[in-house]
């Protein structure tokens, strides 16, 4: 195969060998530059390595050696090593490392979503095993899971909350039962609210009776 001047000069620039050595190597490799590089490196004639065609040594800064799919030495590019060269080429900044980083981000996102879903299930479980109960004159008249109460407060806040307050003035009392909310601090606070409502109701009743007694027959 005829060797062109351009091929020989390119090999000289890539390896640092003399023009005659480059031409001889190309002739032995039938004009294949990569095969010529391999031959020159085996003979120890190459004076320098390149990020695109070097077959050993350290890769240039910001790159990574990767094995090509066909076992040849692949030419590295800015976005990863190619698989049509001869042996391990150089992966660029967005090559193998970029792929590994992408997989890491995907795994982290999946792990975060798994933890979030586990937390939601835990909250629902606690809301279902704990109950909100309504008593009147010592009798239990209503018992619902805390989950239902929370949903009602979220979507019917302006109806549910006033209803709960008004019910206090009709002798209703509230408490929580369950493994997580059946605690004295919580239920004492509920009783304190009921007692306050009773005091207000009694004060209004006393005020009404005082006005009635002060009227002239």
- Residue 131 and residue 148: Cα distance in Å, rounded? 9
The tokens of 169 are what? 């003035």
Is 105 exposed, middle or buried, given 0-12, 13-18 or 19+ CB atoms closer than 10 A? exposed
Question: pLDDT tens digits for 79-97?
Answer: 344 434 444 444 443 444 4
CB contact at 8 A, 38 and 53 = no
Mean pLDDT for the stretch of residues 93-118: 67
Sign of CA dihedral 162, 163, 164, 167: positive
The tokens of 36 are what? 């010529």
Task: Please tell me whether residue 58 adopts helix, strand or coil conformation.
Answer: coil
Alpha carbons within 13 A on the beta-carbon side of 42: 7
Question: pLDDT tens digits for 42-69?
Answer: 888 876 544 444 444 444 444 333 333 3
Q: What is the overall mean pLDDT for the chain?
A: 75
Q: How far is CA 28 from CA 6, 41, 43, 53, in A?
A: 17, 14, 13, 18
Domain ranges of the chain: 1-48, 57-114, 130-213
Sheet holding 172-177, edge to edge: 139-145, 131-136, 172-177
Which range has the worst mean pLDDT, 72-86, 108-122, 174-188? Answer: 72-86
pLDDT at 93: 39
Question: Burial letters for 169-197: b for 16+ Cβ neighbours within 10 Å, e otherwise?
Answer: eeebbbbbebeebeeeeebeebeeebeeb
Is the pTM above the cut of 0.85?
no
CATH topology of domain 1-48: Helicase, Ruva Protein; domain 3 (1.10.8)
Q: How far is CA 75 from CA 9, 94, 95, 96, 110, in A?
A: 19, 15, 13, 14, 35
Task: Please tell me whether residue 133 adopts helix, strand or coil conformation.
Answer: strand
């Amino acid at each position: 195969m005829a060797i062109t001047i351009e091929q020989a000069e390119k090999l000289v620039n890539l390896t640092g060998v003399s023009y005659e050595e480059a031409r001889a190597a190309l002739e032995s490799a039938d004009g294949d530059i990569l095969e010529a590089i391999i031959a020159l490196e085996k003979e120890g004639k190459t004076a320098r390595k390149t990020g695109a065609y070097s077959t050993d040594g350290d890769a240039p800064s910001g790159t990574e050696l990767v094995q090509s799919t066909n076992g040849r030495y692949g030419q590295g590019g800015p976005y990863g090593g190619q698989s049509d060269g001869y042996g391990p080429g150089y992966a660029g900044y967005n090559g193998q490392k970029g792929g590994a980083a992408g997989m890491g981000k995907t795994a982290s996102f999946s792990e975060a979503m798994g933890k979030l879903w586990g937390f939601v299930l835990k909250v629902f479980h606690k809301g279902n095993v704990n109950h909100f109960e309504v008593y009147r004159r010592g009798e239990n008249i209503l018992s619902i899971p805390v989950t239902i109460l929370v949903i009602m407060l979220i979507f019917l806040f302006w109806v549910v909350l006033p209803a709960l307050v008004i019910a206090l003035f009709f002798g209703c009392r509230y408490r929580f039962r369950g493994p997580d909310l059946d605690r004295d601090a919580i239920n004492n606070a509920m009783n304190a609210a009921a007692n306050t409502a009773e005091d207000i109701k009694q004060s209004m009743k006393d005020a009404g009776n005082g006005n009635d007694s002060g009227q002239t027959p």
